[in-house]
């Protein structure tokens, strides 16, 4: 028992040695009051006191030595070397725990920051300040406002909650929860965040922003929007000065002016030049009243054309396209907004209704996003399947075709025209017309060849069906490529 009392006494002595009493250095008038058994000193005029490495001054104060607590009034100033200055109208300083509670017209200054609020509690042991009824911090070009804020002075770190706002000459930032390093001037988002400027609007729910260098990373439901483009992704890296953006995973680049969407899992976007590159499951979607065009390639680019505000969209390697009335495959493709024309390169093949179209080069002109005209250059070939073994065929050097309500209705064949055409009577196959003519004009109806006009005198032969030799049933270079035809929008990813 005696040993236990000794240990408790020693523990109390050690605590008493660790806790230092507040020292009064100066006061013009000092009064002592022991009313009710509690000790209290009243000080008036030019009051100065200190506690360990902290110094304080005020116009008047009450000191309670029994509990080591000081109440200071009017023109309160707390300072510690050149690292901290804290001002206010009222202070309750608790010496045993080294906590300063400052109220009304509070100002906190250190080397990097100027904080104003009406209420702050400052822990001088951990150098942690806490305000809870609104505060404003000025740091370099940034002004930060929030309802609740914690300032970790040693780490030079602010933690803000509730109605957080950063005002910068170039943008304004709104957030639910935010951390801010006052030395690096980097803001860390921990909740829904909006960044608004004249150039763009940014949203995310996690990430960081280097306000000094204007470099940022936005995560979780991130998107960046300017006047005509919206960039989305699981995460977005962005440089405001250069306008460079990089997006990762589930990327969407939306062109609101052209009703076009580019998707993929990796993208680079340059605001100043309006250049974009997407890869990894890259897909272009041209939206058209429910009948959208889907284009897949290994890589998609959008670049400025020679005409201002017009773009070239380039698709390279393993290109496939799908629309309900048009499908295609080629090695590369270019779409020009200037003339609304698709250009297909590298063994292109297109399917329009029942027709397979091939040539060394193919272009399709559109109007109001509908099909208007097709141009086929060099080794042009059109094939349609009559049954499992019979094919209507048109071949020539070059061809031009015109669409009506997105269906081919007329084709001009220019040079070296050849045809194989199965004739019907009341829906029954009767025979085969095989002809050659330098130039042809072909009319289609209900997706079938209705009539062929030979512009120059043809070399033509009609065969009864049973007498048509199988060896003559296919023109030279015949290839039926239906196995590669995309049957749905998902098929564009199947090569």
Q: Mind listing the pLDDT tens digit for each residue in 428-474?
A: 888 898 999 989 888 888 777 778 888 888 888 889 888 888 888 99
Greatest C-alpha distance within the chain: 132
Residues forming a β-bridge with 314: 301, 334
222 by Cβ neighbours in 10 Å (0-12 / 13-18 / 19+) ranks as buried
Give the separation between CA 364 and CA 361, rounded to whole angstroms: 10
DSSP state string for 139-205: ETTEEEEESEEEEETTTTEEEEEEEEEEEETTEEEEEEEEEEETTTTEEEE-S-EEEE-SS-EEEES
Give the separation between CA 136 and CA 186, rounded to whole angstroms: 17
Angle at 80 between CA 77 and CA 81, to 5 degrees: 120
Residues 6+ apart with CB under 8 A from 3: none
pLDDT, tens digit (0-9, with 9 covering 90-100), for 122-148: 999 998 999 998 999 998 889 999 999
Mean pLDDT of 249-270: 91
Residue 12's pLDDT band (boundaries 50, 70, 90)?
A: very low
Residue 368's pLDDT band (boundaries 50, 70, 90)?
A: confident
Q: What is the pLDDT of residue 273?
A: 86
For residue 490, give Cα distances in angstroms to 73, 248, 322, 323, 487: 74, 22, 9, 11, 8
Beta-carbon neighbour count of residue 319 at 10 Å?
24
Give the separation between CA 68 and CA 325, rounded to whole angstroms: 87
Long-range contacts of 57-60 (CB under 8 A, 24+ apart): 58/91
Give the separation between CA 42 and CA 32, rounded to whole angstroms: 6
Q: Which CATH architecture has domain 342-495?
A: Sandwich (2.60)
Q: What is the pLDDT of residue 196?
A: 94
Contact between 268 and 246 (Cβ < 8 Å): yes
Q: What is the pLDDT of residue 351?
A: 92
Residue 226 has pLDDT above 70, yes or no: yes
| Pair of tokens at residue 276 | 């974009």
Residue 284 has pLDDT above 70, yes or no: yes
For residue 11, give Cα distances in angstroms to 17, 22, 123: 10, 22, 24
Give the separation between CA 351 and CA 419, rounded to whole angstroms: 18
Residue 238's pLDDT band (boundaries 50, 70, 90)?
A: very high
Mean pLDDT, the chain, integer: 88
Residues forming a β-bridge with 138: 114, 143
185 or 290: which leads in pLDDT:
185
314 or 15: which leads in pLDDT:
314
Q: Which of 54-58, 60-64, 459-463 has the lowest mean pLDDT?
A: 459-463
238 or 274: which leads in pLDDT:
238
Residues 6+ apart with CB under 8 A from 490: none
Mean pLDDT of 280-307: 88
Comparing CA positions, the residue from 228, 276, 277, 226 lying closest to residue 255 is 228
84: left (phi over 0), alpha (psi -120 to 50) or beta: beta
Q: What is the pLDDT of residue 5?
A: 30
Q: What is the pLDDT of residue 18?
A: 54
Mean pLDDT of 85-106: 95
Beta-carbon neighbour count of residue 284 at 10 Å?
27
Predicted model pTM: 0.78
Which residues of the chain are in CATH 2.60.450.10 domains?
A: 22-133, 342-495
The CATH superfamily label for domain 22-133 reads Lipopolysaccharide (LPS) transport protein A like domain (2.60.450.10)
Q: What is the pLDDT of residue 495?
A: 77
Q: Which of 191-200, 348-357, 375-384, 426-435 has the lowest mean pLDDT?
A: 426-435
Give the separation between CA 122 and CA 99, rounded to whole angstroms: 6
Mean pLDDT of 375-389: 91
| Pair of tokens at residue 354 | 């029942």
Residue 3 has pLDDT above 50, yes or no: no
Give the separation between CA 169 and CA 31, rounded to whole angstroms: 53
Comparing CA positions, the residue from 306, 392, 316, 406 lying closest to residue 352 is 406
Q: What is the pLDDT of residue 14?
A: 39
């Amino acid at each position: 028992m005696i040993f236990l009392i000794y240990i408790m006494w020693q523990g109390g002595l050690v605590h008493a040695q660790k806790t230092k009493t507040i020292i009064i250095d100066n006061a013009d008038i000092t009064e002592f009051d022991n009313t009710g058994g509690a000790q209290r000193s009243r000080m008036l005029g030019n009051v100065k006191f200190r506690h360990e490495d902290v110094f304080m001054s005020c116009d008047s104060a009450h000191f309670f030595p029994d509990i080591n607590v000081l109440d200071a009034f009017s023109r309160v100033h707390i300072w510690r070397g050149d690292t901290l200055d804290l001002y206010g109208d009222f202070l309750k300083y608790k010496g045993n725990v080294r906590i300063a509670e400052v109220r009304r017209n509070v100002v906190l200054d250190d080397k990097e920051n100027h904080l104003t609020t009406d209420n702050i509690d400052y822990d001088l042991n951990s150098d942690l300040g806490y305000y809870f009824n609104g505060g404003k911090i000025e740091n370099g070009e940034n002004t930060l406002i929030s309802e609740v804020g914690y300032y970790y002075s040693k780490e030079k770190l602010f933690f803000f909650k509730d109605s957080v706002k950063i005002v910068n000459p170039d943008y304004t930032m709104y957030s639910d929860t935010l951390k801010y390093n006052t030395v690096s001037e980097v803001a860390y988002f921990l909740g829904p965040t909006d960044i608004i400027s004249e150039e763009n609007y940014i949203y995310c729910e996690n990430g960081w922003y280097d306000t000094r260098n204007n470099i940022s990373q936005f995560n979780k439901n991130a998107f960046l929007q300017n006047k005509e483009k919206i960039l989305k992704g699981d995460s977005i890296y962005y440089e405001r000065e250069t306008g460079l953006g990089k997006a990762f995973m589930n990327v969407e680049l939306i062109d609101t002016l052209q009703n076009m969407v580019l998707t993929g899992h990796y993208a680079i976007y340059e605001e100043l030049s309006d250049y974009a590159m997407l890869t990894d499951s890259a897909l272009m979607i041209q939206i058209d009243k429910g009948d959208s065009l889907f284009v897949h390639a290994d890589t998609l680019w959008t670049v400025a054309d020679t005409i201002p505000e017009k773009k070239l969209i380039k698709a390279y390697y393993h290109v496939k396209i799908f629309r309900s009335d048009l499908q295609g495959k080629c090695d590369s493709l270019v779409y020009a907004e200037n003339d609304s024309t698709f250009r297909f390169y590298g063994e292109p093949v297109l399917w329009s209704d029942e027709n397979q179209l091939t040539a060394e080069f193919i272009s399709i002109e559109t109007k109001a996003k509908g099909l208007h005209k097709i141009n086929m250059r060099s080794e042009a070939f059109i094939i349609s399947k009559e049954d499992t073994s019979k094919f209507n065929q048109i071949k020539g050097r070059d061809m031009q075709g015109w669409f009506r309500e997105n269906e081919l209705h007329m084709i001009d064949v220019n040079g070296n025209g050849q045809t194989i055409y199965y004739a019907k009577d009341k829906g029954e196959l009767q025979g085969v017309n095989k002809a050659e003519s330098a130039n042809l004009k072909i009319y289609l109806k209900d997706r079938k060849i209705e009539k062929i006009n030979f512009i120059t005198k043809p070399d033509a032969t009609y065969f009864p069906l049973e007498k048509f030799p199988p060896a003559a049933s296919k023109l030279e270079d015949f290839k039926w490529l239906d196995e590669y035809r995309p049957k749905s929008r998902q098929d564009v990813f199947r090569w």
